[in-house]
Amino acid sequence: MSAGTPLSASGGPSAAAAEEALEPCAMVIFGASGDLTHRMLLPALYNLALDRRLPPRFAVVGFARSDWTDDEFRRRARQSVQQFSRRPVDDAVWESFANSLFFVSGEYHQPQAHARLAALLKKVEKERGTGGNHLYYLALPPTTFPLIIGGLQKTGGIGRDHQRDGWARVIVEKPFGADLESARELNRQVHNAFREDDVYRIDHYLGKETVQNILVFRFANGIFEPIWNRRYVDHVQITVAESIGVGQRGSYYDATGALRDIVQNHMLQLLSLVAMEPPIAFNGRAVRNEKVKVLHAVRHLAGEEVDAATARGQYARGWISGQEVPGYREEDNVSPHSATETFVALRLFVDSWRWADVPFYLRTGKRLPKRSTEIAVQFKRAPHLLFRDIADVSAMEPNFLTIRIQPNEGISIKFLTKVPGSPVRIRPANMDFIYGASFLVQAPSAYETLILDALRGDATLFTRADEVEAAWSIMAGVLERWQSAPPPAFPDYEAGTWGPAGADALVERDGREWRRL
């Protein structure tokens, strides 16, 4: 990690960043014919090319089982960009970008395929001056990692046994393991070949502008931090609601579920950014140290505590935006008897001086009425209800500070105000900051930000080994309890509703309610 690199430098084109000279590099994508490469990686790389943010001497080498040539890869890459880029294709930029794309077809375990890759990398190094620096992107399930890493070690693509010129970094996609044990094992495998500083575990939520802004909002302003603690905060609600179902990802999702797919990574990342102490500096080590401390402070749930502090659900057939949608068990590649959860709600406590006894309520689900990710901090009520005798107290809602991660990105503060005229009437009002209205530039996609950071050697926005393990250890008691309990009576919420009744009961037991979104 490049110590001291400002977080914001990777957030979008700026005069300073435009002058930044990136080291030459060849980026190798394992899984280059897959969905992630098609939807996210190639469009992100093209947008970086459009902004002239890629290294001047750069190449992308796709590696996959598909029997493609360089030309076929380029043709398909153009389709990816046409379909998924946030900006249209510019022919001149495309031409030069396409010339930097190469392809190797082969099996991940085949020595011959790795030999072909090594030969191509040598050729690319000569022709495009990529300088022996390699950024490997593992856009594949973790079962392939040992094969790929083993292959690279044998051909000298990485490894401590080989004298190499240039650096080798690796970007690893989620899911990083399926539980604490498998995450530890993956860390061991990756560390066999890479130093931790060269490992970039992706959680694409950290690349989102609004997520990065949590740190700026909290620590660049003087007015919020003094009230950001148990003395003033009643509780925090973090919601990741999706209206989509599992689509074509049934086989992955059915073996995974919402707890592993969203809570263990994206939601615990949001929680750590909201709950962390101010880091001593804005660099990868300091920021991640503080996030890890939060994860270590999260109280682990076990046995019956899990039943009281969690709710899980699975969607049944229902209606979303006027369209009838199938139930989870009717989706492609999903077992008709599946016990996989598509909804999770849970209550966590961060046992620290700052947050003791403040509940953090988390909920996420597929096929909810709308797409909405937000963090809402509810403050305690005013200590003395001065207006009790002259105004309707039931209208006196508590103050909320809401960070809208997506869509309609922004931050709002809800406070009480007097309705003009007499008698005194009190109503909530909002102070609203809306990104789209305040900044007229389009934000880069999370993948643009994260790929650029990896090219720059800045791991601030990536998950560290101890962090990923700490996050899994929070999940361990819940996974164990859920596995040992009898199968839940699924499906238990209709598509297009806000989840199972258990989710409401979870907060209502504490005398609270979920925010209406």
Catalytic residue among 191, 235, 266, 296: 266
Other Cβ atoms less than 10 A from the Cβ of 19: the count is 7
Classify burial at 96, counting beta carbons within 10 Å of its beta carbon; exposed 0-12, middle 13-18, buried 19 or more: exposed
Distance, in Å, from the CA atom of 105 to the CA atom of 305, rounded to the nearest integer, reads: 50
Distances (CA, A) of 434 to 213, 428, 431: 13, 19, 10
337 has catalytic annotation: no
Report, in Å, the least distance between residue 516 CB and ligand BG6.
Answer: 20
Report, in Å, the least distance between residue 261 CB and ligand BG6.
Answer: 5
Report, in Å, the least distance between residue 248 CB and ligand BG6.
Answer: 12
CB 348 within 8 A of CB 294: no
Question: Token digits for 190?
Answer: 């990756």
Classify burial at 184, counting beta carbons within 10 Å of its beta carbon; exposed 0-12, middle 13-18, buried 19 or more: middle
Size of the site for ligand BG6 (CB under 6 A): 4
374 binds ligand BG6 (CB under 6 A): no
CB 275 within 8 A of CB 355: yes
Strand segments, DSSP code E, in 271-371 are 310-313, 315-316, 318-320, 323-325, 343-349, 359-365
Interaction residues for ligand BG6, span 172-201 (CB under 6 A): 174
- Apex CA 267: angle with CA 264 and CA 270, to 5°? 130
Closer CB to ligand BG6, residue 266 or residue 456?
A: 266
Question: Token digits for 443?
Answer: 């934000």
Question: Token digits for 22?
Answer: 């990136």
Report, in Å, the least distance between residue 242 CB and ligand BG6.
Answer: 5
Report, in Å, the least distance between residue 455 CB and ligand BG6.
Answer: 21
Distance, in Å, from the CA atom of 313 to the CA atom of 489, rounded to the nearest integer, reads: 9
Other Cβ atoms less than 10 A from the Cβ of 20: the count is 14
Interaction residues for ligand BG6, span 225-264 (CB under 6 A): 242, 261
One-letter amino acid at 294 equals: V
Report, in Å, the least distance between residue 148 CB and ligand BG6.
Answer: 21
Report, in Å, the least distance between residue 457 CB and ligand BG6.
Answer: 24
Residues near 386 by beta carbon (within 8 Å), at least 6 away in sequence = none
Report, in Å, the least distance between residue 59 CB and ligand BG6.
Answer: 28
Return the bridge partners of 376, or none: 237, 402
Distance, in Å, from the CA atom of 480 to the CA atom of 152, rounded to the nearest integer, reads: 36
Name the phi and psi angles at 20, rounded to 5. -65, 125
CB 257 within 8 A of CB 268: no
Residues near 472 by beta carbon (within 8 Å), at least 6 away in sequence = 177, 179, 180, 183, 264
Catalytic (active-site) positions: 266
Query: Contact positions toward ligand BG6, by CB under 6 A?
Result: 174, 242, 261, 373
